[in-house]
Amino acid sequence: MRTKFAFLLHPRDTLRDDLRQLLHPAFGLIPDRVLQGALQHLPLPPLITGGIRYDDAPDQQAGWLITVPLSASQLLRLPRAHVHGKINQAVDRARDLGASVVGLGALTAPATLGGQVLQERRDIGVTNGNAFTAAMTHLAVERLLPSLPAHPTIALVGATGSVGSCLTHLLAARTDAALMLIARHQGRLDALAADVSRPGLRVTTSTRMDDVRAADLVVLLTSAAEALLRDEHLRPGAIVLDDTQPRNTDASLLRTRPDVTIIDGGLVQVPGMQLRGTIGLASKVAYACLAETMLLTLDGHEGHFSIGAPGAHKAAHMLDLAARYAHLGFHLAPFRSFGRLLPDGALGSAPRPRLLERA
């Protein structure tokens, strides 16, 4: 019998839409402002809003999706004790259901410092899912390289974060592209740049979104809950890979910048997954952080895994696990833009075999 997992989610600030889909159509009638107030002030428990089984064991529940009753901006802005209390309640629920690992989806990871706030817990393993997210984003970047000009510049916005720093290490070890590391705190950027520096690698840092205009490929990895990337930040023909949830790109960019290609990042194809409920993605597609949680329990992992910023060795371990459970899928999803599949060959070629090896 396989061990089980739980995965934490939360609604975005578009509460009416999200709660309508997650819970009941009647929520579509209630204004967002009223719902924000209810979530902030009512003692709402975490809710089970979905479940997952696998094609090779359809009679067994593999895991549960648990919704933390706070919006994206509440997770970032309410007093930490309140937010951590709500997330701990959801983790208690996961443990009581019998999960051995709980994954921290979307902003539940940044809100707990990548899970560091939960690492004293010994009753359940915690992972922020960011090792596999970085590994899959690395594969996506490698796949996009042939579509970029010679000697490209890649901007990593949110480079010092949990996904960002793991991805920066993976890229710095393997690419000849120039890397531009972007976040708000210069000291952390300088430390990361020094950490990954090697002869021949061009690394610059910046705290200004305007500098993104020098990049051919922009990878979005911040914990900001709003659309940070605007049309004036993008050079003609730029490609954007947006890993963020809630996303840092707005669909209006498709209209204002038709020259730019925006790709939904951090997505994994899992054809062997049977999902009950919604995660807002196409059928058989999972967030990479959810896929990490699934892979860990398929492999019987015990204890915590990705906490804080996972090292490149953890990304490599996750690629090994993805290869071990390839009969269920766990490979990079075909590129989509705001949920719409991009035509075959529109960007990038099939991943080169060596890139499917260890990162």
Ligand X SMILES: NC(=O)c1ccc[n+]([C@@H]2O[C@H](COP(=O)([O-])OP(=O)(O)OC[C@H]3O[C@@H](n4cnc5c(N)ncnc54)[C@H](OP(=O)(O)O)[C@@H]3O)[C@@H](O)[C@H]2O)c1
By the rule CB under 6 A, 49 interacts with ligand X: no
- Cα 104 to Cα 7: distance, rounded to the nearest angstrom: 6
- CB burial class (10 A; 0-12, 13-18, 19+) of residue 200? exposed
Least Å distance, CB 114 to ligand X, is: 5
Distance of closest approach, residue 157 Cβ to ligand X, in angstroms: 6
Q: Is 158 in the site for ligand X (CB under 6 A)?
A: yes
Q: Is 163 in the site for ligand X (CB under 6 A)?
A: yes
Q: Which three-class secondary structure state does DSSP give residue 296?
A: helix
CB of 33 or CB of 208, closer to ligand X:
208
Binder of ligand X out of 50, 63, 103, 114 (CB under 6 A): 114
> Can residue 164 be called a binding residue for ligand X (CB under 6 A)?
yes
Q: Which of 109, 218, 262, 296 binds ligand X (CB under 6 A)?
A: 109
Query: Residue 261: which residues within 8 A CB-CB, separation 6 or more?
Result: 238, 239, 240, 337, 342, 346, 347
Give the residue with the Cβ less far from ligand X, 244 or 261. 244
Q: Which stretch binds ligand X (CB under 6 A): 13-21, 32-40, 129-137, 273-281?
A: 129-137
Residue with tokens 């990490």: 292
Cis, bond preceding 246 (omega within 30 deg of 0): yes
Per rule CB under 6 A, is residue 222 in the interface with ligand X? yes
- For ligand X, the binding residues in 52-91 under the rule CB under 6 A are none
The 227-256 contact track toward ligand X, x by CB under 6 A, reads -x--------------xxx-----------
Residues 346, 64: Cα–Cα separation, whole Å: 36
Question: 3-class SS at 163?
Answer: helix
> Is residue 161 near ligand X by the rule CB under 6 A?
yes
**Does residue 289 belong to the site contacting ligand X (CB under 6 A)?**
yes
| Residue 288 interacts with ligand X (CB under 6 A): yes or no | yes
Give the N- to C-terminal CA distance of the chain in Å, as an integer. 30
Task: Compute the least distance from the CB of residue 261 to ligand X, in Å.
Answer: 18
Tokens of 28: 């579509």
Cβ–Cβ under 8 Å, residues 331 and 322: yes
110 lines the binding site for ligand X (CB under 6 A) = yes
Of 3-11, 12-20, 93-101, 179-187, the segment contacting ligand X by CB under 6 A is: 179-187
Question: Exposed e or buried b for every residue in 7-44, given b needs 16+ CB within 10 A?
Answer: bbbbbbbebbebbbbbeeeebeeeebeebbeebeeeee
Contact between 206 and ligand X (CB under 6 A)?
no
Would the CA dihedral through 12, 109, 245, 300 be positive or negative?
Answer: negative
The CB-of-150 to ligand X minimum distance in angstroms stands at 28
Report the distance separating Cα 21 and Cα 281, nearest Å.
12
- 184 touches ligand X (CB under 6 A): yes
Residues 6+ apart with CB under 8 A from 40: 70, 74, 78
Q: Nearer to ligand X by C-beta: 184 or 340? A: 184
Stretch of residues binding ligand X (CB under 6 A), selected from 16-24, 51-59, 282-290, 324-332 = 282-290
Chain contacts with ligand X (rule: CB under 6 A): 106-107, 109-110, 114, 128-130, 133, 157-164, 183-185, 188, 221-224, 228, 243-245, 266, 287-289
